[in-house]
Structure 1
Amino acid sequence: MTIDVTAQRVLPLPPDRVAAYATDWRHDAEWTRGIRTAELTREAEGGGFGAGAEVTRTAYFLGRRIDYVLRVAAYEPGRLLDMVSVAGPFPMHVTYAFEPHPRGTLARIRVRGGEGGFYRLAAPLLSRQVRSSITKDLRSLEHRLTEQE
């Protein structure tokens, strides 16, 4: 993979609260800046959201519309959401992780992807753009959750 970017931020809230909001696909468009819509298009084997579920997102990145489907590879409520793209313009792997921190929650987003061709050539620019985007997402997440206090 040619892109591997991580951003993290300490949020002054309990991990369970941060993770519950951030891993609920119904909130994706509220705090994830590029996402316009998100829809649960396949439930997990046991029903609802969990490993095997799929979320279809419409996003805008660098001024372009991107439609893609992420399948939940691993889900540990309150701690981890790991997703891989199964449809879209390029391979993508997105991980949200939440850990207790003395000041609240250490929230981390990691994005990997973009193998081959154009993505290999554009990796430095795309990495900067992705890092900027997910850093802003974490700020937006904090703002959204502290506003609800």
Structure 2
Amino acid sequence: MTIDETAERVIALPPERVAAYAMDWRHDPEWTQGIRTAELTREAAAGGFGVGAEVTRTAHFLGRRIDYVLRVAAYEPPGLLDMVSVAGPMPMHVTYTFDTHPRGTLARIRVRGDAGSLYRLAAPVMARKVRSSIGKDLRDLEHRLAEPTPR
């Protein structure tokens, strides 16, 4: 079963500021639901973070620990960060976009994946949980950026 969930939120800050924080993998545990750790485990060909870089995340989802690796497929700050899983329990594609909006930034997260036979029975629950989680991610991103000095 395929999962395709999107959440969006207007954040009253410029896209450059929102994207700079959200696209920095070191902040993942601070605003992304369930992420306990994030580590840059492979740098881009040019060094650092960019296309080809890989981030290993440890998360808790539906009561289980999940370790997975996302490879950066597209990196166009401040508008786009697109990542695909190269290791983990299921194929996944995560896209962050940040567009100019009259009130600041329209931040959007889209998660696509294939629950496959392993998660087929849980797919409807997973889809609802993913939708809820990415909505909370954007809420937490906004709250984090509203703090006097986000890290």
TM-score of the aligned structures, taking structure 1 as reference length: 0.96
Partner residue in 1 for 2:85: 85
Q: Which residue of 1 aligns with 2:141?
A: 141
SS at match of 1:109: strand
Q: Where does residue 21 of structure 1 map in the other structure?
A: 21
How many positions carry a matched residue from both structures?
149
Instruction: Give 1:41's aligned residue.
Output: 41
Distance 1:45 1:125 in 2: 38
Cα RMSD after superposing both structures = 1.1
Secondary structure at 2:6's aligned position in 1?
Answer: strand
Q: Describe the superposition over 1:1-46 as per-residue Cα deviations: whole angstroms up to 9, x where unpaired.
A: 6100000000010000000100000100011121000000000001
Instruction: Between 81-90 and 113-122, report the one with greater CA deviation.
Output: 113-122
| 8 Å Cα contact 1:39-1:55 kept in structure 2 | yes
Deviations 1:98-139 (A, max 9, x none): 000000000000001124214333222111100000000100
The residue matched to 2:84 in structure 1 has which SS?
Answer: strand
1:22, 1:28 within 8 Å by CA — same for their partners in 2? yes
Aligned-residue identity in percent: 79
Shift of 1:148: 2.7
Q: Could you say which residue in structure 2 is the equivalent of 1:60?
A: 60
Unaligned runs of 5+ in 2: none
- 1:134 partner letter: I
- Conserved in 2, the CA contact under 8 Å of 1:2 and 1:120? no
Whether contact under 8 Å (1:2, 1:119) holds in the other structure is: no
Contact 2:36 2:58 in 1 (8 A): yes
Describe the superposition over 1:39-58 as per-residue Cα deviations: whole angstroms up to 9, x where unpaired: 00000001010000000000
**1:86: Cα distance to partner?**
0.4
Letter in 2 for 1:25: W
What does residue 109 of structure 1 align with?
109
User: 1:42 corresponds to which letter in structure 2?
Assistant: R
- TM-score of the pair, normalised by structure 2: 0.95
